[in-house]
Amino acid sequence: MAKVKYADNLITLRCTVCKRRNYYTHKNKKKVERKLDLAKFCNWCRKQTAHKEARITGK
């Protein structure tokens, strides 16, 4: 089974319009203390929307 490098730094990005989790990324928690807010493309909304950091469920 593949091992995830820095699994404790793994976060999800959730679309603010449709509330779906579209992206997974890593964050350096020592340098970036605030929650991420990025403009990304949402496949379900079919446009570029704001994506905010959300916690990963299912652990």
pLDDT at 53: 95
Kindly tell me the burial class for residue 53, based on how many C-beta atoms sit within 10 Å of its own C-beta (0-12, 13-18, 19 or more).
Answer: middle
**Cα-based distances in Å from 27 to 11, 39, 41:** 7, 16, 19
pLDDT at 2: 62
pLDDT at 58: 64
Q: What residues does each domain of the chain span?
A: 7-54
pLDDT at 59: 55
Angle at 16 between CA 13 and CA 21, to 5 degrees: 35
pLDDT at 34: 93
Dihedral-angle region of residue 6 (phi above 0 means left; psi in -120 to 50 means alpha; beta otherwise): left
- Domain 7-54 top-level CATH class: mainly beta
| Beta bridge partner(s), residue 37 | 52
| Single pTM value for the model | 0.78
Per run of 10 residues, the mean pLDDT along the chain (length 59 residues) is: 70 95 90 93 96 82
Q: Is 27 helix (H, G, I), strand (E, B) or coil?
A: coil
